[in-house]
Amino acid sequence: MKMELTEIKETQCPECGSRPTRIEKGIQHCNEEIRFDCGCILSYSPNFKRMETDIVCPNAPKEKRKAAKREKFIENILDIIDASKVDEEFKIKARFAMRFL
């Protein structure tokens, strides 16, 4: 993948070091964009003259902590659903709704 970017200098994800999967220039709302294997997306905004992180690396320590807290939260809610004294049909609906969080 050999496209020269003028504003974005990163050649790998700044958090985990994964390699670029797509590099684009001259796209709408940003002048340059680079996507990495991990899912992180960096772009340069000419309007604000700065580089922006459009999607944060899921391997960043802060993102890992956030994901772990969310997983624990869902586990706690599922435990509450299972322990509740409502009918089984409602529990099934509640468990199904949890999939959309």
How confident is the model over 21-70, as pLDDT tens digits? 998 887 666 688 999 999 999 999 888 888 899 999 999 999 999 999 99
Is 100 or 65 the better-scoring residue by pLDDT? 65
Q: Which pLDDT score is estimated for 3? A: 61
How much is the pLDDT for 64? 95
Q: Indicate the SS3 state at residue 62.
A: helix
Q: How is residue 32 written in tokens?
A: 């340059």
- Count other Cβ atoms within 10 Å, centred on residue 57: 22
88 bridge partner residues = none
State how far the Cα of 19 lies from the Cα of 64, in Å rounded to an integer: 20
